[in-house]
Amino acid sequence: MTRIEKLRAALPENFGAALVQNDAHRFYLTHFRSSAGALLVSETDAVLFVDSRYDEAARKQAQGVRVERMESLYAQLSALLQKADIHHLLVENETSIGTLASLKKGLREAKLKYECSAVLSGAILKLRAQKEESEIAAIRAAQAITDAAFKEICGFIRPGRTEREIAAELEYAMRKRGADGFAFNTIVVSGKNSSMPHGVPTDKPVENGDFITMDFGAKKDGYCSDMTRTVALGEPSSKQREIYELVLDAHNRAKAAARAGMSGRELDGIARDRIAQAGYGDCFGHGLGHSLGIDIHENPRASKGSEDVFPENSLVTIEPGVYLPGEFGVRIENMVLLHDGGCTDLTASPTELIIL
């Protein structure tokens, strides 16, 4: 069953047609990446519209669709819809008010009833949550690059290197190992800066006594990886060791319990309760983790308010943290594949404290 066939099966009976313009959704459904285009899926047809930049590549790579060069999109869509006598169009929940207004104006001759709701986007996101073997293989490849880059960066870090230099070297290490790009903006924060979960690398030199937190990931064949490691430069203090061991214990407990069928709230609570019991509950403000794939943040998510349920072959990051403003922070993140009865850790780098 192709992904487009799966989408048809997931949509309401007699749905009419669905218009997919979100880049990530379009890539997922067609296996073809482009920064512009539109996919029209009806009950009997699927047409991918791309401009001249992508025309040749799309005809070679896109799956389950016929490709048409995009000359005047609204006119082409209108002609197709009228020819097929379709009067009901599903559009994505992400569609902006401006885009919807332009769509209605451009397709006015088709006399359509529009449905902009979670029906279409929700169906696609549900399919994307359950990874296929080819997707898992791409994510494994991205994570292998990320693990290798971490091993290399540990040999690069020394007193006097700046956060910005370390971030640049990490990205170079991923690029030269085959990364197509980066899953997100690389985070490297040290010393007092490490108490900021999403801090930005600065020109601050790293120093002996610093904790250095690095959050980074590669992108390979359109799919992301994600990991975080906190390392010590020089001998850590007793408090640094205490907090690191607390975060590691919370991480390990959540990873040991993670499985398909559990809710995001349940998984998050395992790590959160451990940190709260140690008296640092207010220092763990973000969710335990998120799924990922084409996008770095996808559903299902693990957080204290999440009712998401993880299906078989879904992914989640396990990334508890403790952040002490003005002192330091610790976060440890692995990426796991969930299945009935447990999970498989896709991250090879050690989680024990590394002292450089």
Q: Same structural domain for residues 249 and 332?
A: yes
Has residue 336 got a pLDDT over 90?
Answer: yes
Do 100 and 175 fall into the same domain?
Answer: no
Average pLDDT over residues 171-178: 98
Residue 169 and residue 216: Cα distance in Å, rounded?
12
Same domain, 119 and 22: yes
Residue 256 lies in a domain: yes
Position 18 scores a pLDDT of: 97
Q: pLDDT confidence of 116, banded at 50, 70, 90? A: confident
Q: Tell me the pLDDT band of 292, cut-offs 50, 70 and 90.
A: very high
Domain containing 230 — which CATH number? 3.90.230.10
Task: Indicate the pTM of the whole model.
Answer: 0.95
Tell me which DSSP letter residue 193 carries: G
Q: Residue 93's domain is classified under what CATH number?
A: 3.40.350.10
Contact 29, 5 (CB under 8 A): no
Phi, psi at 20, each rounded to 5°: -115, 115
Q: Which helix (H) or strand (E) holds 291?
A: strand 289-291
DSSP class of residue 233 equals: S
Q: What is the pLDDT of residues 75-96, one digit of tens each?
A: 999 999 999 999 999 999 999 9
Average pLDDT, integer, range 97-104: 92
Average pLDDT over all residues of the chain: 97
pLDDT tens digit string along 218-275? 999 999 999 999 999 999 999 999 999 999 999 999 999 999 999 999 999 999 999 9
Q: What is the pLDDT of residue 118?
A: 87
Q: Which two tokens stand for residue 312?
A: 């078989």
Let me know: does 354 contact 330? Beta carbons within 8 Å. Answer: no
- At position 322, the amino acid (one-letter code) is V
Average pLDDT of span 33-43: 96
How many domains are there within the chain? 2
**Which amino acid, 92?**
E
Would you say residue 351 lies in a domain? no
Q: How confident is the model at residue 5 (pLDDT cuts 50, 70, 90)?
A: very high
- Range(s) of the domain holding residue 168: 133-345
Task: Give the residue from 28, 24, 80 showing the smallest Cα distance to 49.
Answer: 80
Q: What distances in angstroms separate CA 192 from CA 24, 204, 276, 288, one per listed residue?
A: 37, 10, 22, 22
Q: Percentage of the chain with pLDDT > 70?
A: 100
Q: How far is residue 348's CA from residue 144's CA, in Å, rounded to a whole number?
A: 8
How many percent of the chain have pLDDT more than 90? 97
pLDDT of 1 reads 87
Helix ranges (DSSP H) in the chain: 3-10, 23-30, 55-61, 73-83, 97-106, 118-129, 133-156, 163-176, 238-257, 264-277
Q: 124 and 165: one domain?
A: no
> What is the tens place of the pLDDT at every residue in 312-325?
999 999 999 999 99
Per-residue model confidence (pLDDT) at position 293: 98
- Domain endpoint, select from 129, 162, 194: 129
